[in-house]
């Protein structure tokens, strides 16, 4: 079970005293994926930020490679990042371990201290910090709740923004 599902299962166990049923992760994907295909939109300003940035950009995600690639296709962002699209499937340990970000930096031949990570999850912030990178917490996604910024700061984000426009300055 990928780290994401393992964490969900742990939280479920703590709240309800039992694990998810066998096959939960596959059933979740089966039910959710049609909505992703029909409704997923790029976050406002993501394309412009990636286009205007003067250095190399990459995507380093916990999502499985096939779903990550498909999400980037649906949102029209794939061409902005390929071939620099990295899934946690490429490393031993997913976030919050630094492995994925260190892998991406190595592929870009960039020193981790010269990398900036834009992260919308606490484990992603922890991973970026553990990799020695500057981490910007991002609360502009639809999944963000009012306390996400506080949690990203508590996890170690150097700063928190609510939109890509804030980064474009």
Residue 57 CB neighbour total at 10 angstroms:
15
The pLDDT, as a whole number, for residue 1 is 39
The pLDDT, as a whole number, for residue 29 is 83
Q: What is the pLDDT of residues 69-128, one digit of tens each?
A: 999 999 999 999 999 999 999 999 999 999 999 999 999 999 999 999 999 999 999 999
3-state secondary structure of 116: strand
The encoded tokens of residue 138 equal: 């991002």
The pLDDT, as a whole number, for residue 47 is 95
Residue 98 CB neighbour total at 10 angstroms:
20
The structural domains of the chain, ordered by start, are 1-39 (no CATH), 43-168 (3.40.50.1000)
Residue 7 binned pLDDT confidence (cut-offs 50, 70, 90): low
3-state secondary structure of 161: strand
SS3 assignment for 37-77: HHHCCCCCCHHHHHHHCCCCCCEEECCCHHHHHHHHHHHCC
The pLDDT, as a whole number, for residue 77 is 97
Supply the DSSP symbol for 89.
G
The whole-model pTM stands at: 0.85
Dmax over CA atoms of the chain, in Å, equals 50
The pLDDT, as a whole number, for residue 16 is 73
Query: What's the order of all strands across the beta sheet hosting 159-161?
Result: 116-119, 134-138, 159-161
Q: What is the pLDDT of residues 15-51, one digit of tens each?
A: 777 777 888 878 888 998 999 999 999 999 999 999 9
The pLDDT, as a whole number, for residue 140 is 95
**Res 14 pLDDT > 90:** no
């Amino acid at each position: 079970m990928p780290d994401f599902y393992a964490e969900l299962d742990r939280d479920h166990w703590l709240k309800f005293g039992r694990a998810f049923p066998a096959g939960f992760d596959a059933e979740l994907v089966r039910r959710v994926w049609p909505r992703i295909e029909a409704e997923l939109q790029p976050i406002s300003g993501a394309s412009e930020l990636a286009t205007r940035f003067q250095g190399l950009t990459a995507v380093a995600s916990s999502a499985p490679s096939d779903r990550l690639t498909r999400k980037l296709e649906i949102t029209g962002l794939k061409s902005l990042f390929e071939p620099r699209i990295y899934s946690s499937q490429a490393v031993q340990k997913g976030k919050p371990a630094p492995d994925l970000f260190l892998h991406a930096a190595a592929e870009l031949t960039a020193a981790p201290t010269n990398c900036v990570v834009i992260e919308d999850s606490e484990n992603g912030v922890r991973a970026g910090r553990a990799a020695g990178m500057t981490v910007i917490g991002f609360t502009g996604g639809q999944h963000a709740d009012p306390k996400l910024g506080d949690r990203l700061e508590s996890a170690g984000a150097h700063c928190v923004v609510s939109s890509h426009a804030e980064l474009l300055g």
